[in-house]
Every structure is written in C-alpha cells, then in structure tokens.
Amino acid sequence: MSTQLITKKAIAYVTNKDELMVFTHADFPEAGVQVPAGTVEESEEPSEAVLREVYEESGVKGVRIIELLGIYQYNMTPYRNEIQERYVYHLELTQSTPSTWQHWEIHPSTSKNPIAFDFYWVKLDGSDLGLAGGQGYFLSKLAHKINNSGSPDNT
C-alpha cells in the first residue's frame, strides 16, 4: 500500500452579508459548484494562501479575513492519492462586485491555459449548498454564526 501525500489547502468562504461567493468552471461544468481554494505553497501561511487564491481565481482583491473556521482532513481518493489538510477561512467582501462575473485564472496549477470561472452569489441556508469535493464542510457553522449574530463581526 502506498503512502498518501498530505497537502495543505486553503479554502475561502467569502461572504457578502448572508451570501457566499461560488463559481463553476465555464468549460468543465461537471467539476461542480466550488469556492475559491488552492494549495498552500511552501513559503506561505494558510492565511496568505487563502487571500492569494481568492484573487487568482475571482479577481477580487477587496476581502478581509474574519476568522479561521477550522481545519479538517479530506481524502481525495479515488481522484488522486492525496489527503488534503484543509484550512477553511471566513472572509468578508470589502468591495462591491457584480451579481455574476467571469474571471480567468492565469496561473492554474493543472494547466498551461487560462481557466474560465463563472462567479455568482448564493444565499447561505445552513446546508453545504452542494459544493463539490467536500468544500461545504464548515458552511453550516458559518451560516449559524452569520444568521445568529446579524453581522459576522459580533461573533
């Protein structure tokens, strides 16, 4: 039996009031609905990685970290022989965005060509919103905080 790699990943739950920023792959709809996320590089902290990934994938710079919601491990089998140690952050939008927009990730780790992402906002309803690849792990915790505090700053 081969040893599984453990890869650190940063996942961004970017909110605007009670809505969450999500996207689909324009050319690969089968990849499902996702939130900005990616690999934590050797030279960076997960908190730095999450800000970088939000910008690379969405083009949005106007976000601030509210808190680290938690860390969990996710087994990527059968897709690849990897355990992901996922750092999930709640970030708040600090600039306005359209209700929908498309952004091209220029330096995707999986391909030389830019990848088009279609972004939009969905209401946090306490479910995992059907996010792909287990990304919705902490969404019920986030929805509970937002819906019970009136504002994420009062947690």
Of 24, 29, 27, 48, nearest to 38 (Cα)?
48
Nearby residues of 75 by Cβ (< 8 Å), 6 or more positions away: 4, 82, 83, 84
Q: Are the C-beta atoms of residues 66 and 138 closer than 8 Å to each other?
A: no
The rounded radius of gyration (Å) of the Cα atoms in the chain is 15
85 is catalytic: no
Catalytic residue among 56, 57, 82, 92: 56
Compute the distance between CA of residue 58 and CA of residue 36 in angstroms, rounded to an integer.
7
Q: What are phi and psi of 15, to 5 degrees?
A: -115, 150
Q: Is 11 exposed, middle or buried (0-12, 13-18, 19+ CB in 10 A)?
A: buried
Compute the distance between CA of residue 122 and CA of residue 14 in angstroms, rounded to an integer.
11
Catalytic residues: 56
